[in-house]
Structure 1
């Protein structure tokens, strides 16, 4: 375990200021509330700018945004459950339906909303609370390797990130991030027993737990080669293997659950492919690992009026650049092996299974621990610049996804 560096000034405040004397949970609460106020202002402006051409109409309000886009699917699950018979078009091809979404968030939101008059309030409260919990967990995850100021600045970036509106709408990302950061913290502290509870919760919140299984496999290999300088007891080997197998089983279980409930073994896969087919128009295309990114590259470069071959080159360069950053970039290396292995595993997972479209920004959110690398440079100018870029990106995202919301590439 790394020794924590000596704490310096925190967010520009003197070390003897009221802010620095507050408990860390209270300081992060202030940061989080300030970030949510900014996001609320952005959402109010977006509602004012919404027109009849938007899916939210000319009289949109924040309540519409809370249950907009995929949040409607979670609400539908809470109210009606999952279909026993898959919906199909005239050609018999499976169309979009609830099986693409995991049940934990809508179930908790429905329960939380009971005393407050409905699912929408419960979804908003759950998203807000999970977002704050994720900020607190991220701070402790990063504090092992960063000083207090850098860890707090990383929380500022995270709370204000370009898609921070997810903390105020009925999406499951905030809850998943809370569980993920807690799980990474358990690996970091080698408290593997907690993972037997956290992994199933992650797996039934949103897709991505298979990446955690890969991360544990890589972590076990890393620990094995370091066992002479960092002892690896048999008990820890057993935990790493068992939790890894549990994560893999949970990650694959939804396919079998969907298959058993619908009588169609391919129910989940066909449901996921339904979203992809709406972009490609290929009703018969099946799932091939890595093909989604290659196929989407061609789609986007055609959309931009550029040669497809240029897109393939750009994809290859991007993959190599990301690998180089995760392996060699000094600020990323400072974050510790657990965060680097998770980031690598999640990128591999996305490349394997995802078809990148407008929701790619949302799908990248589990890489949020990398905000710690952006917080490491001590220049206040740099940190303010990163925050300004986060806020500018946040407004751009909210404007496109909620104010405009009129085309198929404006889906969060």
Structure 2
């Protein structure tokens, strides 16, 4: 018993340390460092206040908490009904104890994110090992888009609900799977990806009627919200129609958007925009990086693994400085799809199907905006990446350092109300 308590204490200490250290980096960047930077033309001044944690979607959740939902037949205007109710509802409940709106939203998101880390850790530990659990947890906590698990957004709550639902279904705890699944679809629309995942596994593994009932019960969250929209606005799909203000009439795979991003990485934004080679230095630096990579690979045996790895680290950083966010977005989305396929036989089937279902939703919105943030919200990727890094830990440490650099820069940008994801 004492040994078990000791191991439990060590596990919880690791989780809290990972969560706290990553959140501390974000807080320092947003509250102490961001105010030192001048305000750009399209940003706002960062101040030492709760305001730095509120930008973009945060504003809409605050409107819902203070003024409720709004919607009209003019779908070209932005309406709060596009945002799902669980997060603002919980924030409102926390406000009853006397906390300000921004503090309540931050508390809900951060507490949920910590709980998601705990559930992921012990689930992965049961499936694999402590080492894998630690890498999976570190990946989820230190990925730069975990910034959205601290600011007034729904990432922390969504990760908690989906991770809990997937774990419960994997362990055949169908009541809990239905409960957490329904909360997932009451938090964000991508929660519906749980439904095909649960149904497919129910059929594939012949789990019986309880599994099918749990699978369909996941839709209760979105169904109740749809019922509310019908009663309140006379449109059961108001939350979908309202999203046209953000994406217009775009649907399906955003070929043009992804092609544009690929061209910006390949030839540079200036060259792509102008239609001719206006910025030859971009092409020159790209060529140097590519040639250096080829030589590094060609002479890797002579250089030794240590120099080879450091060489790759330097080239990756150089490529990121050159290409900026587009490289990270494509690596996370399409690299995530490849990783999920590569490790499909080693992670639970329900997480694999959920991952691919989520990517199908992400890639068929008609736009590329926020796709990397939505991909981060797929817990299957953290599990797969943790499994990969547990086998190659020497690659894991520099990846975490790189994540830290990105998280720091993203936090400063968010504090200035600049677009991140």
Q: TM-score, normalised by structure 2?
A: 0.75
Matched, 1:79 2:66: yes
The CA deviation at 1:386 is 1.9
Distance change (3 Å), C-alpha of 1:403 and 1:158: same
Matched, 1:170 2:152: yes
The CA deviation at 1:401 is 3.4
Aligned to 1:326: 340
Aligned to 1:128: 110
Distance change (3 Å), C-alpha of 1:193 and 1:161: same
C-alpha distance in 2, partners of 1:319/1:170? 23
C-alpha distance in 2, partners of 1:124/1:25? 22
Distance change (3 Å), C-alpha of 1:106 and 1:50: farther
Q: TM-score, normalised by structure 1?
A: 0.76
Aligned to 1:370: 381
C-alpha distance in 1, partners of 2:138/2:213? 36
Distance change (3 Å), C-alpha of 1:351 and 1:249: farther
Aligned to 1:268: 239
Matched, 1:56 2:70: no
Native 8 Å contact 1:134 1:181 kept in 2: yes
C-alpha distance in 2, partners of 1:267/1:132? 32
Distance change (3 Å), C-alpha of 1:97 and 1:205: same
Matched, 1:247 2:260: no
Paired residues, number = 356
Matched, 1:189 2:171: yes
Native 8 Å contact 1:208 1:251 kept in 2: no
Native 8 Å contact 1:128 1:167 kept in 2: yes
C-alpha distance in 1, partners of 2:77/2:260? 21
More moved, 298-307 vs 369-378: 298-307
The equivalences for 1:209-220 within 5 A come to 209-220=191-202
The CA deviation at 1:24 is 2.3
Aligned to 1:384: 397
Where in structure 1 are there 5+ consecutive unaligned residues?
Answer: 1-15, 225-231, 278-284, 308-313
Native 8 Å contact 2:55 2:417 kept in 1: no
1:23-79 CA distance string (max 9 Å, x none): 42233112211221122122232233251635432x533511222211111111011
C-alpha distance in 2, partners of 1:151/1:317? 23
C-alpha distance in 2, partners of 1:152/1:220? 30
The structure where helix makes up a greater share of residues is 2
C-alpha distance in 2, partners of 1:65/1:319? 27
More moved, 171-180 vs 315-324: 315-324
